[in-house]
Structure 1
Amino acid sequence: MVWKPDWVASKDILRRMGWSVVETTMMNSNPPEIEVPLGNFVKMNILFWNCRGALNVDFKRRIFEMVINHHPSIMVITETRVGGDRAARIIEDLPFDGSIVTETIGYAGSLWLLWKTDDVDVMLLSSFEQEIHATVKVHNSDPIWLISTIYARPRLSERRILWDSLKAVAQLHNLPWLMLGDFNEVLSSEDKFGGNQVSLNRTLQFKECSDVCNMLDLGFTGSKYTWTNRRPIFDLILERIDRYFANPSWRILFPEAAMTHLPRTCSNHCPILVELLGSTPPGPNKPFCFHTMWLLHPGFPNIVQEAWTEDGDLQGAILEFVSKAKHWNYNVFGNLFAKKKRVLARINGAQKSLASRPSEFLLTLEKQLIEEYFFNFTPGRGILGTEVKIECSYVWRP
């Protein structure tokens, strides 16, 4: 695939929009063409979530839980409602060491792009209230591609500004392009249940934007809708407004990429996971899981003492601790992780059924399962549930 842009016109637009990085990295010598590498397969996950407020008491714990379960190298969080120094302090406690943050509009909005620098290089191109644009290079992979993260404002007039901005961005490059976020708009009547009738004019404006950007909807597995107003059945509204789009170049780079709508729990938006190599079954040698709830059990110090002997070496003590801790956890707590997965699977099943056949029974079942999940797997309640994974070969520090 060959890109032959109009370099002179593009440079002027890029300077006015502040896209100096693209200009310096791609336009130094006015090349006649750029080859887009094909067939590069990398294992990397990207996670998107509209959290509805980063000051929620469960916010950090939910982020850590999703990172542990899904291993994202990049995470996009929208509607954090926190910006500036306060956002920086929260991000310092999260398991990412790279970040780009947009400011809030009053007490609403804000968009965070977070990443792990050991996995990817992310370079900011531009950011506005509703969008962040950056280049991404996955380590041990040659291609550089564009990522655009979106939080479309609820007001139609502001979304129109976003659509125009995205159409302008599409004219500035021909990179492989991934666009994801909360677009606050549906593409068709199939994307909505309940509420007012879908506005044909609004959906056509959204579709025109995606067409001009040459975007493909990447589809999904999981529940059909990504947002709910959490009302009783007679007032219930369900919509698919959170999406991943990509242009053909990006899709060719990552033909195995798979999107999953994860269960909704502490937000009325579901997290969305994209796995660039598709979902893969866990390997036989799973890493050892240290559960923080163990520290609150009165019998845990005995396990540590039994594993640690004065004459034993450090490696031997670690292996002995791992063996004893697994056996003790099974006897005291049972298989906690399996229990959590079963509850989440039931929540996911209820939400998928609710999307197909909405009923008061399914709404009640979903609510009960989410309450069970929070009660059993929240520190200080039920049987607790935050895990931190460590490799057995690492030094364990009690």
Structure 2
Amino acid sequence: MDKAPVSCFRRLFYQSFGFNPEGRLGGIFMCWNDSALNLNVIAASPRHIHALVKDVHTNIEYYATFVYVYPKKSVQDSLWEEFLFLNPEDKPWMLPGEFNNITCIQEKWGGNQSVNARMTKFVDFMNNVGLISLQALGVPFTWPNKYKDDLLIFERLDKVVANSYWFELHPSYILHNCPILGSNHSPVFIDTVGSQVSRRRKCFKFEAMWNLHPEFKQFVKRAWKCSEGLPPLDHFRGCLGTFTFLVKHWNRAVFGSIREKKDKILKEMNCVQKELTSFNYNANSLNNFNEKVHLEAQINERLAQVLKEEEVMWAQKTKSNSLKHGDKNTRFFQLCATIRRKQNEINKIRDGNGIWWYKGEALEQVFMQEFKMRFTNRSNPSQC
């Protein structure tokens, strides 16, 4: 490994081991804190690191094979055979990493939905050694194709698989697929103890302005065809979760920000109108002038569409059921939304002892305690 990254990681984790990538492919790096884990590397290659892991505090031991699987099918076949010799048989075994494979059609959205030989061999390998793919919270997919060639594809290529002995050792595990940000892969976080602290997050809300996009209805139809063959309730839950995840990415990649689209269109309009006002009218330039006029008309149509989307957005935020206050009156809706947000905001609360509590988790605890006291105290019904 390069010295600079290793020294940087060792400041946090003290120990590290890994291999450099081959060109733009591969590369695997592992780091750990030896005050919490004893890790003994047994076998290693640019495609995997096989180690025995021991928790210093609990003395729990298990085998872990950190994996990077090359996308090429021919290379994958030899790797599955190599992993057969690493199988510790009746010992706990966990394999986290980038497998570049899916285990079922439900782990892919978009593109070719047929079962291929590469997926079949991967599933056969898992069945032969008794491995199970761990269910994950968070985003259902870990890799997007970044809307390449106007085709949106998501797959769950990064995962953690383990045998039954590992499941018995860590029954309360929590596996979380984090959001896909700078990389084209999602970071995968696993808590083997299951003591993950819950954090509040902004709930998903359907945006009415999406209905104005010409491709949205077709997008919904495609997203709602997932999890076919499951029981009705499981089918509904699967489709709802998949749609929620996909529409967030569609909103960023396709629909875009209202403010950014509006600013861009206004800049284009400004440039075109400047050219029109400074145009030299003559017979040779008449065609060019007509093209500019036609371009201005097209920009006006795009602007009208964005303004309509903006109007619907602010109308939804104010919970207005009709746009009866005038066309493109977004300032009114924005003001209503701001006022409503302020009215609903709770900045502080006073408990039963007269103590004031402010924003944060303490305020939430006061609410919960007061409700419990009021609705469980039967001796004084007048407090309810």
Query: Secondary structure of the equivalent of 1:125?
Result: strand
1:269 alignment counterpart: 185
Give the alignment's TM-score, normalised by structure 2. 0.53
Work out whether residues 10 and 16 of structure 2, in 8 Å CA contact, stay in contact via their aligned partners in 1.
Answer: no
2:244 and 2:149 map into 1 onto residues whose CA distance is 11
| Cα drift, residue 363 of structure 1 | 1.6
**Does 1:239 pair with 2:155?**
yes
Within the candidate set 101, 118, 127, 1:211 is matched to: 127
1:258 and 1:271 map into 2 onto residues whose CA distance is 14
1:358 and 1:87 map into 2 onto residues whose CA distance is 33
- Give the letter aligned to residue 220 of structure 1: A
Within the candidate set 44, 48, 65, 1:127 is matched to: 44
For structure 1, list consecutive stretches of 5 or more residues without a partner in the other structure: 1-82, 283-337, 373-398
Query: Secondary structure of the equivalent of 2:13?
Result: coil
Higher helix proportion, which one?
Answer: 2
Within the candidate set 59, 69, 93, 1:177 is matched to: 93
**Does 1:88 pair with 2:6?**
yes
1:200-349 alignment runs, 5 A limit: 200-231=116-147, 234-281=150-197, 342=201
2:100 and 2:94 map into 1 onto residues whose CA distance is 18
- Give the letter aligned to residue 174 of structure 1: D
1:216 and 1:360 map into 2 onto residues whose CA distance is 29
- CA offset digits 1:354-395 (Å, max 9, x no partner): 8326777752347869xx9xxxxxxxxxxxxxxxxxxxxxxx
In structure 2, do the counterparts of structure 1 residues 143 and 92 end up closer, same or farther at CA, with 3 Å as the change threshold?
Answer: closer
Aligned length: 227
Work out whether residues 166 and 213 of structure 1, in 8 Å CA contact, stay in contact via their aligned partners in 2.
Answer: no
Which structure is richer in relative contact order (CA contacts within 8 A, separation 6 or more)?
1
- Give the letter aligned to residue 102 of structure 1: F
Query: Secondary structure of the equivalent of 1:250?
Result: helix
Work out whether residues 354 and 363 of structure 1, in 8 Å CA contact, stay in contact via their aligned partners in 2.
Answer: no
Work out whether residues 92 and 165 of structure 2, in 8 Å CA contact, stay in contact via their aligned partners in 1.
Answer: yes
CA RMSD of aligned residues (A): 3.3
1:361 and 1:215 map into 2 onto residues whose CA distance is 32
Work out whether residues 233 and 360 of structure 1, in 8 Å CA contact, stay in contact via their aligned partners in 2.
Answer: no
- CA offset digits 1:30-77 (Å, max 9, x no partner): xxxxxxxxxxxxxxxxxxxxxxxxxxxxxxxxxxxxxxxxxxxxxxxx
| Cα drift, residue 88 of structure 1 | 2.5
In structure 2, do the counterparts of structure 1 residues 137 and 358 end up closer, same or farther at CA, with 3 Å as the change threshold?
Answer: closer
Query: Secondary structure of the equivalent of 2:67?
Result: strand
State the structure with more CA Rg.
2
Give the alignment's TM-score, normalised by structure 1. 0.51
For structure 2, list consecutive stretches of 5 or more residues without a partner in the other structure: 206-222, 224-238, 261-384
1:132 and 1:233 map into 2 onto residues whose CA distance is 35
